[in-house]
Structure 1
Amino acid sequence: MKNPIIVVGLGELGSVFARGFLRLGYPVQGAMRGQDLQALAKDIPNPEAVLIAVGEADISSVLQDIPNAWQDRLILLQNELLPRDWQAASLPTPTVISVWFEKKKGMDSKVVIPSPIFGTKAKLVFDALAKVDLPSYIVDSEEELLYELVRKNLYILTTNIAGLEVGGNVQQLQQEHAEVMNAVAHDILEIQAYLTGQTHAIDNLIKGMLEAFAGDPEHGCMGRSAPARLKRALTFADQANLEVAKLREIAKQAQ
């Protein structure tokens, strides 16, 4: 009998991964947001892995509450994730997947590009996604992981925040509003540099973002989370005394 896999947060994404783990033959134990994880760890002290599938707004509080016995077997998948998030909870580097497929209620998963994975449980995640026909690949280093996390952040934040001004889809953003796209992207990368403590290759990351645009040209820019993402980005910019003029302009227009 294989050790169970715990999935904390059984929303749309968590359910996709749970199905993949089940098809690999692992028992899956779901845990709802707010459930007492310390009590669950007494019942399941030695899980194969623990997937944290709560939203980005809840990730900080959940990571602070991870039982000691689980800390070396975490899998994270949140948007806007960076090393500072698990470092703040004094956790070892977890397995991380930058999810590049979209799953909404009542629809099949829609792939933008293959999803990169890094960490000790990367093969497990790769195999689970293969069981549900979702493409992924394993990266070999924390440096590659950081690039992938910043690339995903750049994509999510640029499209959402630029979408507050211009609407439309990512193809229209690139072709019709390139000036807005580039201004927002440069502001976002300033913030990412602050949050990661290092500068990043801007041209390379923008190229990576545009690769994702090409994977799903009709992907809408402005999701429901766009206002909250802009507010969060400006909070970080204020902490770092960054000008981020375009982000501030968009925030002022949105008032």
Structure 2
Amino acid sequence: MKEPVILQGVGELGGVFARALLRAGHPVYPVTRDMDPRQVEAEYPEPALVMLTVGEADLHPALEAMPGAWRQRVGLLQNELLPRDWEAHGVDNPTVIAAWFEKKPGQDHKVVIPSPAHGPAAGMLVEALNGLGIPAREVTDAATMRFELVRKNVYILTTNIAGLECGGTVTDLWRDHQELARTVADEVMDIQAWLTGEELDREALINGMVEAFEGDPEHKNTGRSAPVRLARAIEHADAAGLAVPKLRELHARQTG
């Protein structure tokens, strides 16, 4: 029998990872909201991976409460994820995946583009997801993974925030509102550069975003989390002293 995996957060995406890992032969043990992770850790102190599939708002509390024996076995997949998120909790070498697929209630998973993964258990996750028909690939260096995380963030934030003004799909956004998309993306990249302390190739990030547009051309721009993402972007801009005039204009419309 292969090593067990702990899965903390058993929502839609968590269910996909559970199914993939089980099919690959790994016993999967869930940690739900009403369970104390310390009790599970006492029984399984050395799992192959402790996969956090909680929502973005629950990530930091989950990392804060994570038992010490698990901290070097962490797997992360949240949107808007960056190294500062895990480093703040003393996690220095997690397994990280930019999950470019979605799972909604009552529907099977939908793939946008292959999902890159990096870290100690990346190969295991890639093998498991590929076995479920979800394309994934292993990234061998941390710098490339940082780029992939920022790329995902630029896609999510640009589509959500620009979509507050234009609605529609990513195809509509890029075909009919490209100036808006590029302006929002550029200000998002200003924020990402401050958050990471690293200025990445902006045209490569734009090209990566467009590749994702082409991977799921009918993807809707704006979901329920869009206003929260915009408000959080403004908070980061304020902390960084960034002007981000378009984001502030859109935020004023949302809150005014």
Q: Deviations over 1:201-221 (max 9, x none)?
A: 111100110011010111000
Q: Aligned residue pairs: how many?
A: 255
Where does residue 74 of structure 1 map in the other structure? 74
Unaligned runs of 5+ in 2: none
AA matched with 1:70: W
Secondary structure, counterpart of 1:75 in structure 2? strand
Where does residue 216 of structure 1 map in the other structure? 216
Matched, 1:163 2:163: yes
Deviation at 1:3, TM superposition (A): 2.9
Q: Deviations over 1:72-98 (max 9, x none)?
A: 211111000000000000112200000
Q: Distance in 2 between matches of 1:162 and 1:18?
A: 34
Q: Distance in 2 between matches of 1:33 and 1:203?
A: 41
Where does residue 251 of structure 1 map in the other structure? 251
AA matched with 1:113: I
Where does residue 149 of structure 2 map in the other structure? 149
Where does residue 242 of structure 1 map in the other structure? 242
Q: Deviations over 1:102-126 (max 9, x none)?
A: 1000001111000001011011101
1:52-201 correspondence runs (5 A)? 52-201=52-201
AA matched with 2:132: V
Q: Distance in 2 between matches of 1:75 and 1:43?
A: 19
Q: Distance in 1 between matches of 2:93 and 2:48?
A: 16
Q: Distance in 1 between matches of 2:253 and 2:147?
A: 31
Unaligned runs of 5+ in 1: none
Deviation at 1:2, TM superposition (A): 3.0
**Identity, % of aligned pairs?**
51
Q: Check conservation: 2:50, 2:70, Cα contact below 8 A.
A: yes
Secondary structure, counterpart of 2:241 in structure 1? coil
Q: Check conservation: 1:56, 1:78, Cα contact below 8 A.
A: yes
AA matched with 1:138: E
Q: Check conservation: 2:93, 2:120, Cα contact below 8 A.
A: no
Deviation at 1:36, TM superposition (A): 1.6
Deviation at 1:34, TM superposition (A): 5.5
Where does residue 204 of structure 1 map in the other structure? 204
Secondary structure, counterpart of 2:71 in structure 1? helix
Secondary structure, counterpart of 2:72 in structure 1? helix
Deviation at 1:12, TM superposition (A): 0.4
Secondary structure, counterpart of 1:57 in structure 2? helix
TM-score, structure 1 as length reference: 0.98
Report which stretch shifted further, 205-214 or 60-69. Answer: 60-69
Q: Please report the RMSD computed on the Cα atoms of aligned residues, expressed in angstroms.
A: 0.9
Q: Distance in 2 between matches of 1:234 and 1:34?
A: 34
Where does residue 27 of structure 1 map in the other structure? 27
Where does residue 17 of structure 1 map in the other structure? 17
Q: Distance in 2 between matches of 1:182 and 1:193?
A: 16
Deviation at 1:37, TM superposition (A): 1.3
Q: Check conservation: 1:12, 1:105, Cα contact below 8 A.
A: yes
Where does residue 43 of structure 1 map in the other structure? 43
Report which stretch shifted further, 45-54 or 151-160. Answer: 45-54
